[in-house]
Structure 1
Amino acid sequence: MGIIYVMLVVSLLIALFFLISFIWAVKNNQFEDDYAPSVRILFEDESNETKEEEDGSREV
């Protein structure tokens, strides 16, 4: 029966850790920009374009 109390305390400590981590992330604006990552894949990297131009070969 004692192990249930230990598991309860440990699970509450883990839940508290995740809650504090979430609050810290929100206060540090980790979830500020939710638009840019979804459209970032649509734009080509400039470094790839210049690298291909230097090589003289371009894949179709």
Structure 2
Amino acid sequence: MASKIKYKVISSFKDGKDKNKEYNVGDSYPKPANKKISEDRINELSSNSNKVGKAFIEAVEE
């Protein structure tokens, strides 16, 4: 069974697509961990392809 990729916050942000939920550096993303997030949203938050122009999350190796 393949493990699900996990992400951690590398730059604090408020998730405008999730009721402005606050994420701080070191937090896991998403909250709760079993919440379904689209691949497009992960790509947006893990790259500079967003309104702010910087990455907010990164994949965590387990």
Is TM > 0.5 for Structure 1 vs Structure 2?
A: no
User: What is the TM-score when the length of structure 2 is the normalising length?
Assistant: 0.19
User: What is the TM-score when the length of structure 1 is the normalising length?
Assistant: 0.20
**Bigger Cα Rg:** 1
